[in-house]
Structures are given as C-alpha cells and as structure tokens.
Amino acid sequence: MNPTLVEAIGWAGAVAILGSYGALSLKKIKSDSYAYQNANIAGGAFLTIYSFAKSAFASMFVNAIWVFIGLYAIYAIRKSQKPPRELEAPPNA
C-alpha cells in the first residue's frame, strides 16, 4: 500500500476519534448521537487499517474492538428509539 495513503488514513482516524471525543467533552454532541458513534467507527476503522499496515497488531486489535463497540452502540441507539406513531400497533379496543 502507498506509504503516503497509509499515513493519510492514520491521520484521518486520529482526527476523527480525537475530534469526536473533544466535541463530547465540550458538550457539543452526546455519546448516544449518531455523529459521535459514526466518527468513532470511522476513526477506529482507519486506525485499524493504519495499524495493520504498520504491523502494530496490538493497536490494530484495540481499534478493531473500538469499531465493534461503536457498531453495538448504534444498534442500541436504534433499538431504544420509539417507532413513528404511524408504525405503532393500534391500541386494543
């Protein structure tokens, strides 16, 4: 893989994770927002690729788990949301 591309992927991952954590810490976004979780998923995926390319397998493992945590969080967010009223079952009469 092109070394410049690998570095760009690594930096993009770092910016995504640090940017989302900074926004969370400054209360600009919430931890249960899609923006926060998607930034963590993307950042973790980029850092997983970067770590693999650099043969940093411990870091690759941590970042891959980071991605799965973010994916599970998205699942939990979707599961906790109420369906639109028109999709709710009618009340028993």
Residue showing tokens 């043969």: 55
pLDDT tens profile 10-33: 999 999 999 999 999 999 999 999
The pLDDT, as a whole number, for residue 70 is 97
Give the H or E element holding residue 9.
helix 3-25
* Domain carrying residue 51: 3-80
Number of separate domains in the chain: 1
In a domain, 85, yes or no: no
The pLDDT, as a whole number, for residue 93 is 54
In a domain, 20, yes or no: yes
What is the value of pTM for the model shown?
A: 0.84
In a domain, 70, yes or no: yes
In a domain, 86, yes or no: no
In this structure, how many other beta carbons lie within 10 angstroms of the beta carbon of residue 49?
A: 19
In a domain, 93, yes or no: no
In a domain, 27, yes or no: yes
E strands present in the chain: none
In a domain, 88, yes or no: no
pLDDT tens profile 53-92: 999 999 999 999 999 999 999 999 999 987 666 555 666 7
In a domain, 9, yes or no: yes
The pLDDT, as a whole number, for residue 85 is 64
3-state helix vs strand vs coil in the chain, percent to 5 = 75, 0, 25
